[in-house]
Structure 1
Amino acid sequence: MTIFVILLIYKFIKGTFEYEKVTRFELIIIPVYSAIMMVLSLENVRSLTAFGLTIILLILGGSIGFLQASQTQIKDTNKLDSHQRPILKVKRNWPYLVGWLVSFAIGISVEVFYGAHIDTTEVSHELFEEVLKDLSAIAFFRSHNAWFIWVLNVATSFTYGACLMVRYPKIREAVRRKK
């Protein structure tokens, strides 16, 4: 199992420094799905502490998303897909990885704030699950996250995608709906 976890982490880190195709899944579907899950999970959480923490996480997550997009590189393949959309590739680089790690650490910190006793085995299990969710759409949609993870995911993924779409208008063309 340990070797499998190491291989997944290696694949995730390596993919951060390689060009990958820009997809609607990453820039549109993940933020929208996360927003829906955030709203649904926040229905059961009604305390002033949770409200304050939600505001803080939205601000931190927005900052992390901005950091993650800061040195992202876009490459135009000068090709079109079957729906006549440009095929673009994105390389996320170090700031994305750093932002991902900070986001992971914030999630663990909030769990501890709410009284969870976390040891190294649990941290490594959480790390495995988070990497798996980033590498697999099936794992992402099957995940059962706490409300604060959804809040953080909405803020980071929305800000990351919005920054890229503002900085590189051609990305909007690449992820638009079929004609």
Structure 2
Amino acid sequence: MYIFAFLLIYKFIKGTFEYEKVSRLELIIIPLYSAIMMLLSLKKTQSMTALGITSILLMVGVAIGFLQASKTQVKDTKKIDAHQRPIIEVKRNWPYLVGWLVSFAIGISVEVFYGAHINAEEVSNELVSEILRDLSVVAFFRGSNAWFVWVLNVATSFTYGTCLMIRYPKIREAIRRRR
């Protein structure tokens, strides 16, 4: 298990510093899906405490999203895909990784706030599962998250994607719908 965890962490960190093709999945579908899941899970959790925490998490998540987008490097490959869209690549860099770690730590903190007793093994298992969700679309859509994880994911992913699309109009072209 430790070797698998180490390899996943290595792949995730290494991928943060490599150029990857920008996709509609990452910038539109995941934030939209997360918003739907957030609303559905918040519907079940209707306490004033949860609403207060949600408000705080949304604000913190927006700040994290700005941080994650702050040093993202964008490269136009000067190629086009089969749908005549430019192929754009992004390299997320350190701020993205730091933001991801802060989001993870906040998620663990909220679990503890709600009474979870978490030991080092549970934290490492949660870390592996979060990295799997980030690396694999199948794991992301099959995984189940608590409402506060969805709230953070909505705020960070939506803000990150919006910042990139505003700052780099070519990204909007790269993810536009096929005509």
TM-score normalised by the chain length of structure 1: 0.99
Give identity over the alignment, percent: 75
- 1:67-119 Cα offsets, whole Å, 9 max, x none, are 00000000000000000000000000000000000000000000000000000
Give SS of 1:68's match: helix
- Measured after TM superposition, the shift of residue 177 of structure 1 is 0.7
Give SS of 1:83's match: coil
Q: Which amino acid aligns with 1:98?
A: V
Task: Give the RMSD, CA atoms, in angstroms.
Answer: 0.4
- The equivalent residue for 1:71 is 71
- The equivalent residue for 1:43 is 43
Question: Aligned pair 1:148/2:142, yes or no?
Answer: no
Give SS of 2:89's match: strand
Question: Aligned pair 1:128/2:128, yes or no?
Answer: yes
- 1:37-85 Cα offsets, whole Å, 9 max, x none, are 0000011011110000000000000000000000000000000000000
- Write the distance in 2 (CA, Å) between the matches of 1:4 and 1:114: 30
- Write the distance in 2 (CA, Å) between the matches of 1:115 and 1:19: 40
Q: Which amino acid aligns with 2:21?
A: K
Give SS of 2:88's match: strand
Aligned residues: 179
Matches for 1:1-179 after TM superposition, within 5 Å: 1-179=1-179
Q: Which runs of 4+ in 1 moved over 4 A?
A: none
Q: Which amino acid aligns with 1:95?
A: P
Give SS of 1:118's match: coil
Structure 1 unaligned regions, length at least 5: none
- Write the distance in 2 (CA, Å) between the matches of 1:178 and 1:125: 40
TM-score normalised by the chain length of structure 2: 0.99
